[in-house]
A and B are shown apart, each in its own frame.
Chain A
Amino acid sequence: MLENLDPVLLARIQFTFTIAFHIIFPAFTIGLASWLAVVEWRWLKTGNNVYQEVYRMWVKIFAVTFGMGVVSGVVMSFQFGTNWSIFSDKVGNIFGPLLGFEVLTAFFLEASFLGIMLFGWNRVSRKMHFASTIIVASGTLISAFWILSANSWMQTPQGFRLGEHGLLYPTNWLQIIFNPSFPYRFMHMVTAAYLTTAFVVAGVGAYYLWRKLHVSHARVMFGMAMIMAIFVAPFQLVVGDLHGLNTLEHQPAKVSAMEGIWETERGAALKLFGWPDQEEEKTKYAVEIPKLSSLILTHDLDGEVKGLKEWPKEERPPVAWVFWSFRIMVGVGLLMILTGVFAAVLFFRKKLFDTRWFQLWCMALTPAGFIAVIAGWFVTEIGRQPYVAYGVIRTAESVSPVPGPHIALSLLAFIVTYIFIFGAGSYYILRLIAKGPSTEEKAYGDHGVDEPPLVTDMV
């Protein structure tokens, strides 16, 4: 039985699992690092210790999350070779330098200054510590820049020529780095990361307010998070719409799958829900709003929307996955916007910090960002199928010559390990939240030595 395992499918599941697990952490730490920089800046500016205590609580959560992000990220840097060696060989000329730049410009920066951020309180000045926080925050954004450039190139490849052995050669680096979908994907993902963090912080702040614990700290957390919900959540809708239009231009089959539309039509209806059937080539049990799909996609009530039947069967992505992931992402996004609306109304009624039901609402939405981020990546990555580099290299032709059972075992090992690690990490983060900000704590991480001794007997 083991011999019949399909290596391509297993390799895809393994990549999906490891990268979906990995993206949870960057999605949170990108926003958290930037927010910590803002909090530390408020502390230095106002001298109000509440900010410092909030910083010290969240920097511990940051450390745990970042640690899990690092170890799951190291895995990713090897998976291209272990599981997708043919792809690596073909696109190495283009893909390699982008990843190389990510390591050189971001990873070292983050790793080195994270040490100072966590353990450097008594070893560097306040300004240098603040600078370290800003550097770590910048590092997370630089890292996002390169990896999203590489990913976007797989979606909208350009700036290359095909050579012998099917290898790709670069012809224009600016076209490769700033490929058509990159600016949109970068904006969409960074905004998503900021919102993910905001809703986690909001959830924790709401929990404290609800239990009437650490109220002054909770107001900082909750208040700042609600600013994000009010202003950034609607902004994300605009960015998402622009990103969608960009996809329509470059990967129309993906958009047709998102919409679950099979026949090309004018004035296409928006299917709110339904069951896309890949075999029967139709979306069953659809609940529709007339003409709305045309309006959203073409900004014209009678605009033409292409159906999936425009493409041969073997060129279509798995429609149900794309269709449903897209609805989950948009649904969560709408809940986030609604949260912003509630927050604005409550703020003007001067009841933002003591409305019980709204605190419960925000606690329930704590994981919202993670769900939306993973669903969104499912849309874009499954929507890219059956290609690994869209229109250029097929997924099925990219996989390593590794036997199926080995991939099955490594996948199982990753699943078991990640569940264990994720469980432990979540447990420690929940404990840190339960403990809350401490008001009389010693410096977090003084590395054990108050006054660093001079180096005397070096060699």
Chain B
Amino acid sequence: MFSFASFLNLPIVWFALIATAVLLYVLLDGFDLGVGILFPFAPSDQCRDRMMNSIAPFWDGNETWLVLGGGGLFAAFPLAYAVLMPALYVPVILMLLGLIFRGVAFEFRFKATGKSMRVWDYSFHFGSLVAAFMQGMFLGGLVQGVQVDGRSFGGGAFDWLNAFSVMTGFALVCGYGLLGATWVVMKTDDTTQEWARKCAKYLLFYVALFMALVSLIMPLINGDVKTLWFSSPNFFLLLPIPLLTLAMFVTIWRDLRKKREYRPFLLSVGLFLMGYIGLAVSLWPYVVPFEITIWQAAAAPESQSLLLVGTVLLLPVVLGYVGYSYYIFRGKASHETTY
């Protein structure tokens, strides 16, 4: 039985890997959930066809990062998986149901004709909306801490539900909407692009508002977070995060006005990255906030080592062919039916 525990701090390595998988999920499924959130508001069916075509080859791969995040958490931090899933039972089930309705809509919508297509338009929209909102609620619920009893969840079934988590739900819907809108700007042209650009401008405002609110409320509801961010020298070390975020907001706004096509999407990804880093810094080193650390939740070193070998060998290959698939489907999407 091999183990790398003698020369690697495995829980830190795995925390980094899972954080990366979840980030990739948020960014990748973020833009296609965002497309779903904006879907019914598009000016015409032709626009909707285009939007769908722009994500149809990717959504399945994007969602696989969620399975990797969930499966990876199970493998690397089983205790965290065992505590968090029952704690978030209701929103997890609702998210899964949302993902079902939007996932099948891709194939069913292509096959449907006439009025029944509407059913799948809305199934796609509401599925995406519910999934995004629930993910936002996980976030809001988690940062307020989870009650643990021994090795199990010890809180109530609705601990995750409160005003703050509802707000983070809306925040993530707007965030995904922004990713989706800037994606559509990048992958389409004409009417669809112009409409998406307008959406992106509105959403950018709301994302800025919500990011500011979350940044203000987090230190207020949690003393440790406040000390972390507002004590010297941390304040100065962490200052680049809010400053970069601000710079990105300004640049996206200007890019949208100048009708740049690619940079708004890439910078929206940057915004998410900043928010994500900010959160990770605030929650470190907890994997179940603020009860179980990554060392307490870590799987046996032998288990973390085995999967690490697989990950080191396979993840570059996976990233390689995921990239290849995006390369194959580069360029603008059209509204023409794919069937």
Interface of A with B (CB < 8 Å)? Answer: 60, 63-64, 67-68, 70-75, 77-78, 80-82, 85-86, 88-89, 91-97, 99-105, 107-116, 118-120, 123-124, 165, 169-173, 400-403, 406, 410, 413-414, 417, 421, 424-425, 428, 431-432, 444-449, 452-455, 457-459
Partner of B67, one of A77, A96, A401: A77
Q: Which residue of A lies closest to B113 (CB)?
A: A431
How far is B239's CA from A370's CA once the two chains are assembled, in angstroms? 59
A115–B152 touching, CB < 8 Å: no
Tell whether B115 is near chain A: CB-to-CB under 8 Å: no
Which chain B residues border A449 with CB–CB below 8 Å? 331-334
Q: Nearest Cβ in chain A — how far from B244, in angstroms? A: 17
Residue of A nearest to B318 (CB): A108
* 21 interchain pairs, CB-CB under 8 A: A60-B339, A64-B111, A67-B103, A71-B103, A89-B81, A104-B311, A104-B314, A112-B321, A114-B60, A115-B328, A116-B328, A118-B338, A119-B57, A170-B303, A400-B82, A406-B157, A432-B111, A448-B53, A448-B336, A452-B329, A459-B263
The CA-CA distance from A113 to B60 in the complex, in Å, is 10
Q: How far is the CA of A421 from the CA of B106 in the complex (A)?
A: 12
Q: Per a CB cutoff under 8 Å, which of A80, A107, A123, A447 touches B74?
A: A80
Q: Are A115 and B57 in contact (CB under 8 A)?
A: yes
**Which residues of B sit under 8 angstroms from A444, Cβ to Cβ?**
338-339
Q: Is B141 an interface residue, CB under 8 A from the partner? A: no
Partner of A92 from B56, B78, B86 at Cβ < 8 Å: B78
Considering the chains assembled together, what is the distance between the CA atoms of A4 and B163 in angstroms?
A: 31
Provide the bound-state CA to CA distance between A77 and B96, in Å. 10
User: A93-B299, A401-B86, A413-B97 known; A99 and B324 CB under 8 Å?
Assistant: no
Query: Are B111 and A447 closer than 8 Å at their CB atoms?
Result: no
Contact between B104 and A67 (Cβ–Cβ < 8 Å)?
A: yes
Docked pose: A455 CA to B53 CA in angstroms: 18
Asked if residues A93 and B92 are in contact (CB atoms below 8 Å), the reply is no
* Minimal beta-carbon separation of B53 from chain A (angstroms): 5
**Bound Cα distance from A413 to B101, whole angstroms:** 12
A103 B68 Cβ-Cβ under 8 A:
yes
Tell me the complex Cα distance, A85–B88, Å.
12
User: How many inter-chain contacts with C-beta < 8 Å in the A-B complex?
Assistant: 272
Question: CB distance B311 to A417 under 8 Å?
Answer: no
Identify the interface centre among A400, A432, A444: most chain B CB within 10 Å of its CB: A400
Is B328 a contact partner of A169 (Cβ separation < 8 A)?
A: no
Whether A410 touches B93, Cβ cut-off 8 Å, given contacts A63-B107, A88-B82, A402-B86, is yes
Query: Which residue of chain B is the closest to A445 with respect to CB atoms?
Result: B338
A452 touches B331 (CB 8 A): yes
Is the CB–CB distance between A108 and B299 below 8 Å? no
Residues of B within 8 A of A169 (CB): 300, 302
Q: Does B43 contact A (CB under 8 A)?
A: no
0 or 1 for each of B233-260: is its CB under 8 Å from A? (1 = yes):
0000000000000000000000000001
Indicate the member of B106, B111, B263, B310 with the most A CB atoms within 10 Å. Answer: B111
Closest residue of A by beta carbon distance from B336: A448
Given contacts A116-B328, A400-B86, contact A424 B104 (CB under 8 A): yes
Complex contacts, A414 vs chain B, CB 8 Å: 97
Q: Which of A70, A99, A118 interacts with B103 by CB under 8 Å? A: A70
Contact A85 B86 (CB under 8 A): yes
Contacts A96-B299, A400-B89, A421-B100 given; does A78 touch B70 at CB 8 Å: yes
Q: Contact partner of A104 among B68, B82, B104, B321, CB < 8 A?
A: B68
A374-B20 Cα distance, complex, nearest whole Å:
37
When distances are taken between beta carbons in the complex, the residues of chain A under 8 Å from B314 are: 104-105
Beta-carbon contact of A92 and B81 below 8 Å: yes
List chain A residues, Cβ under 8 A from B307: 96-97, 100-101
CA distance A403 to B155 in the complex (A): 12
Q: Which residues of B contact A413 (CB under 8 A)?
A: 93, 97
* Contact (A173, B321) CB under 8 Å given A400-B89, A401-B152: no
- Are B333 and A96 interface neighbours, CB within 8 A? no
- Closest A-chain residue to B60, C-beta based? A111
Closest to A123 in B: B328
**B63 interface residue, CB < 8 Å from A?**
yes
Known contacts being A77-B71, A115-B61, is A82 close to B93, with CB within 8 Å?
yes
Kindly state whether residue B137 has any CB partner on chain A within 8 Å: no
Instruction: Return the chain B residue nearest A115 by Cβ.
Output: B57
- B151 near A78: Cβ-Cβ < 8 Å: no
Nearest Cβ distance between residue A392 and chain B, in whole angstroms?
A: 16
In the bound complex, do residue B90 and residue A406 qualify as a contact, i.e. CB atoms below 8 Å apart?
yes
B305 → A minimal CB distance (Å)? 9
Q: Is the CB of B82 within 8 A of A82?
A: no
Q: How far is the CA of A107 from the CA of B69 in the complex (A)?
A: 13
Question: Known contacts being A63-B107, A103-B68, A447-B333, is A96 close to B89, with CB within 8 Å?
Answer: no
What are the residues of chain A within 8 A of B93 when measuring CB–CB? Answer: 82, 410, 413
CA distance A165 to B125 in the complex (A): 45
Extra contacts, 14 of them, besides A74-B96, A78-B85, A400-B89 (Cβ < 8 A), are A71-B104, A78-B70, A85-B86, A97-B306, A99-B74, A107-B67, A113-B321, A116-B325, A124-B328, A401-B153, A417-B97, A448-B334, A448-B338, A458-B262
Q: Distance in Å from the Cβ of B278 to the closest Cβ of chain A?
A: 24
Contact status A93-B300, CB under 8 Å: yes
Contact A103 B1 (CB under 8 A): no
- Min CB distance A85 to B, Å, is 4
Residues of the A chain whose Cβ atoms lie less than 8 Å from the Cβ of B60: 67, 70, 110-111, 114-115
A445 → B minimal CB distance (Å):
4
- Nearest CB in chain A to that of B335: its residue: A448
Are B78 and A75 in contact (CB-based, < 8 A)? no
CB B135 to nearest CB in A, in angstroms, measures 13
CA of A172 to CA of B321, assembled, Å: 32
Q: A64-B111, A78-B85, A103-B67 are in contact. Are A165 and B330 (CB under 8 A)?
A: no
Decide: A97 near B303, CB < 8 A? Known: A70-B103, A74-B66.
Answer: yes
A211 to B140, CA, bound (A): 59
- Fill in one digit per residue for B14-45: 1 if any A CB lies within 8 Å of its CB, else 0: 00000000000000000000000000000000
Q: How far is the CA of A111 from the CA of B339 in the complex (A)?
A: 20
Contacts of A101 in B (CB 8 A): 307, 310
